[in-house]
Chain A
Amino acid sequence: MSLLEARGLTKRFGGVAAVSDCSFAVPEGTITALVGPNGSGKTTVFNLLTGYLRADAGTVAFGGRPLRRPEPTRLARAGLTRTFQQARIFPELTLVENLVVAIQQPWHAIARRAVSRRDEARALALLEEFGLVAHAEARAGTLSYGQKKLLEFAAVLMGEPRLVLLDEPTAGVNPVMVEAMERHVRELHARGLSFLLVEHNMNLVMRLCDPVVVLDHGTKLAEGPPADVQSDPRVLDAYLGG
């Protein structure tokens, strides 16, 4: 069953169609990749799927239910969450606060203590897992870029999502960090979480993802297991010229 399904997504900016009639699915329990040359519309698709942009046409269904008006808050609460290309965290908050604020609260909890003992324990356990526990009480703004990416990844997990959209999780981080990121995705996947990745590191995509969706000029060029996609002449064409 597909957890997330996009059908006929279209988005124009002025006269330019950034995404046009794009359809693909993220099957439940997979690590799906969304790849394509620069400017092929990957990030725009992400923004459409997560409600940061309104599509001009097309529909998105999550967990089998169509989303009438995708909106980030509601989607996050329904279990669909994302990270951003530039590692968006709250720099003035501590690492623990960055994680605790991402726990989805019922409306009546807002008067409670900002960080309860239970919240803190949960946050520390996750920071431990991500190798950030030494900085738990530091302001997030003091972290390195790669650490910020890990923190952002950890933060979206606090909301107990079913599907995580990662926008270029390894862009601009060192090889050790790339390995760490891959390990975390694999572990979380083994625990039942599904992923959709935008990623430029093709080696990583080939190792980690199945299926792979290829975009070009805002529309789907190919979709399938990594080996098939890799040998698809249309894909080679899109990447190497044409």
Chain B
Amino acid sequence: MSRLRPLGLGRAAAVFGAAIAFPFLVTPDWLVNIGVFTLMYAGLATAWNLFSGFTGYISLGQAAFFGIGAYALAITFEHVSIGGGYRPFYSLPLIGLAVALASLPVAWVALRTRAMTFAIVTLMFLFIVQQLAFNLRSVTHGSQGVAVPQPSFTSNFDRPYYFAMLGLLALGLLATWYVRGSKLGLELLALREDEEKARGLGIRVTRAKLIAWGLSVGLTAMIGAVWGYYLFFIYPESAVDPLLMIGAVLMAFLGGKGTLWGPMIGALVLVPAQQWALTDFGATRLYLIAYSLVFVVVLLLLPQGIVPSLRRS
């Protein structure tokens, strides 16, 4: 493939080399724990970018699929043995595929709207799913939550989750890279700039949007499933959480939406900052102000996000 450039390959090797080495070099559990959440947000922001960054349709509802993925894993392994503890990880592709396919009719309806309306419709969908999680008690046990069986990894408990999140992030970046260099990517960039014009050229815009949506949702659901397995216990409030969504979207904006590495960089900056603010100012809730301050500064200095601003300068 002539699209593979040595510089890009080297960059990917450096980033993933460092990420793979991290849990071996840094042993305190709480740090690896922050690593898991950083990778989770990096994956979510990357998945979000795959649809919203490429199409310009701002979805605020992807957290619904994060939650559905988590519930899918939890409910499945209420009935199926987790074996040595790795079986839930092997079920991820199936969960991703199933949630992605099931989400297509929703997307097909939501994509009849544009711009702000689309953002509101997807946000509505998030709350509908949350309400369903509360009220479909026979499936989700409502507000009691669902317990996921705990694996018996003895030492370095966080590591399998860390590498699962890392693997999903790698998958997300790979998908982004591939889509960006494909005819699909070209169609998406065209329709992001002028959808009416793209239609006039014979581009099948709805199909292009649905494929990007499916990829994004599948990834999001798999990340949600790993998250559910990591926490052992999932509740409607935490599994379908608007704040999680806002976090991932802001990270993508911060790093630069529509770029390959931007969303991940946004997560690398923000998640540790968020955790630091939480531990230092958490009791007083001042951390929320500290968090928003980061955004104000970034929006003032790098309004297009880190990656595009750097590229331009």
Contact = CB atoms under 8 A, between A and B. Distances in A.
B197 interface: yes
A197 to B, nearest CB: 17
B237 interface: no
Given A81-B201, A104-B202, A107-B207, A72 B196 contact: yes
B279 interface: no
Interface in B142-176: none
Contacts of B205: 73
Interface in A91-107: 91-93, 97, 100-102, 104-105, 107
Nearest to A52: B196
Interface stretch (B20-28, B88-96, B181-189, B270-278): B181-189
Contacts of A72: 196, 199-200
B200 A90 contact: no
Contacts of A112: 182-183
B208 interface: yes
Nearest to A152: B197
A110 B208 contact: yes
A107 B189 CA distance: 17
A115 B186 contact: yes
Interface string A147-184: 00000000110010000000000000000000000000
B75 interface: no
B200 A101 contact: no
Contacts of B203: 73, 101-102
A77 interface: yes
A82 interface: yes
A159 B200 CA distance: 10
Contacts of A82: 200
B interface: dominant SS: helix
Given A81-B202, A159-B201, A92 B183 contact: no
Interface residues of B, number: 26
Given A52-B196, A110-B208, A156 B201 contact: yes
A76 B201 contact: yes
B185 A88 contact: no
Task: Find the residue from A91, A104, A114 having the highest chain B CB count within 10 A.
Answer: A114
B183 A114 contact: yes
Contact of A81 (B3, B186, B200, B204): B200
A1 interface: no
Interface in B207-265: 207-208, 211
Interface of A: 50, 52, 71-73, 76-77, 81-82, 84, 88-93, 97, 100-102, 104-105, 107, 109-115, 155-156, 159
5 tightest Cβ-Cβ pairs between the two chains A and B: A76-B202, A72-B199, A110-B184, A88-B197, A114-B186
Given A73-B204, A112-B183, 19 more contacts: A72-B196, A73-B199, A73-B202, A73-B205, A76-B199, A76-B200, A88-B194, A88-B196, A92-B189, A93-B190, A101-B187, A107-B204, A110-B182, A110-B184, A111-B178, A112-B182, A113-B182, A155-B201, A159-B202
27 contacts: A52-B196, A52-B200, A72-B199, A73-B205, A76-B202, A81-B202, A84-B197, A84-B200, A89-B197, A90-B193, A91-B193, A92-B189, A93-B189, A93-B190, A101-B201, A102-B202, A104-B202, A105-B183, A107-B207, A109-B183, A110-B184, A110-B208, A111-B182, A113-B181, A113-B182, A114-B186, A159-B201
